Structure 1
């Protein structure tokens, strides 16, 4: 019919208006990010054709899980996809604080620099924007069109130990849009980063 579900049956979708509780956007929840199946990461990346947004401290793991991630992203950009990746500035105070909170022993700056080397293959691709932020993140965000993985950050937990929510966007008033707006708030502060091999 060419109409969204909420327009045809508004009483079945209370999340179409602000202020209503709804869990419809939560596809699945994991106690730890490490428990998100690899095939889900792969399907999210390969299934995105319009927008990929990543906001993290380092997160080189996604390129380790998907060895051809850079090639896949380059192919998608050639087809019109927009990619924005925000990593933390390895020299900023918030990185030192996060390193201490996660008890990483001073290794977080090196992990961020390693992630930048992994981005070298796509940083110059038309449609890809890579930058650094100096924000104290309270969550990581991996958006693939209208689906995403959001990982709230917990005290003294490391990245792979944080819980993870697999979300799908159903409404302008849902939890997905709240996280997406948070990404935009951080992206507005991002400084473009030159990435070299």
Structure 2
């Protein structure tokens, strides 16, 4: 069964009949694709175009040069030895391409807030157009921040970095659809979600943020790696307190 094709059709809000009409084939042909048959390359390209995907996303076995891995780990688009290795254009594409959901969870993540010259305005516009935006920062006064600061050996600067990030987000205060929360949990990874894609950075002992490894994930299953980290975000978000207090 082609889980990738089925997931892409759901994201594009196309049923088999609609996809068949879009690429000029019989609906029974689409049904065969969903059960695992791989179409010819010209048809694959037409399907990918209709769904807003790439051929490698839908049928990685046809593009071994671009395939992210075995079917069991198909949600992993890319893996990086360090967060700093993620190209700027990847972050920019994720942020600018998000239309329905932006969920960010970490300690401070100023690098992401300063990604583009107009990041705050971009987030404001997305929220105004219906996207839900949730930004979870660590409470700068909680014990876990002091512990993380000591682990990273950054000389007591982490609370200040968090406060600077919160100040940077001031233009978002009061914007409908934007929520900012403070958590007090000990994080084992940071999560940066943009619609159906996500960057996850596991936290290594004594490593600083930019040194952590990173996974670029794409949602393909309700029970996959993506879903597990999305659930982690939801559980931690439920523990946050609003910032500023009157915003939630």
TM over 0.5: yes
Matches within 5 A, 1:1-197: 2-3=15-16, 8-9=34-35, 22-194=72-244
What SS does the corresponding residue of 2:165 show, helix, strand or coil?
helix
**TM-score, normalized by length of structure 2?**
0.72
- Structure number with greater CO (CA < 8 Å, separation at least 6) is 1
CA root-mean-square deviation? 2.3
Query: Across the two proteins, how many residue pairs are aligned to each other?
Result: 189
Consecutive aligned runs of 4 or more in structure 1 exceeding 3 Å deviation: 3-7, 10-13
What SS does the corresponding residue of 2:159 show, helix, strand or coil?
helix
| Inter-partner Cα distance in structure 2 for 1:11 and 1:110 | 55
Match of 1:16 in 2: none
**TM-score, normalized by length of structure 1?**
0.90
What SS does the corresponding residue of 2:161 show, helix, strand or coil?
helix
| Inter-partner Cα distance in structure 2 for 1:10 and 1:151 | 33
| Inter-partner Cα distance in structure 1 for 2:36 and 2:186 | 38
| Inter-partner Cα distance in structure 1 for 2:156 and 2:168 | 20
C-alpha offsets along residues 149-178 of structure 1, whole Å, 9 cap, x if unaligned? 000000000000000101000001110000
Structure 1: gaps of 5 or more residues: 14-20
**1 or 2, which has the higher strand percentage?**
1
Deviation at 1:67, TM superposition (A): 2.0
Structure 2: gaps of 5 or more residues: 1-13, 20-29, 39-57, 59-70
Match of 1:17 in 2: none
Q: Residues 107 and 11 (structure 1 numbering): CA distance in 2 closer, same or farther, change over 3 Å?
A: farther
**1 or 2, which has the higher helix percentage?**
2
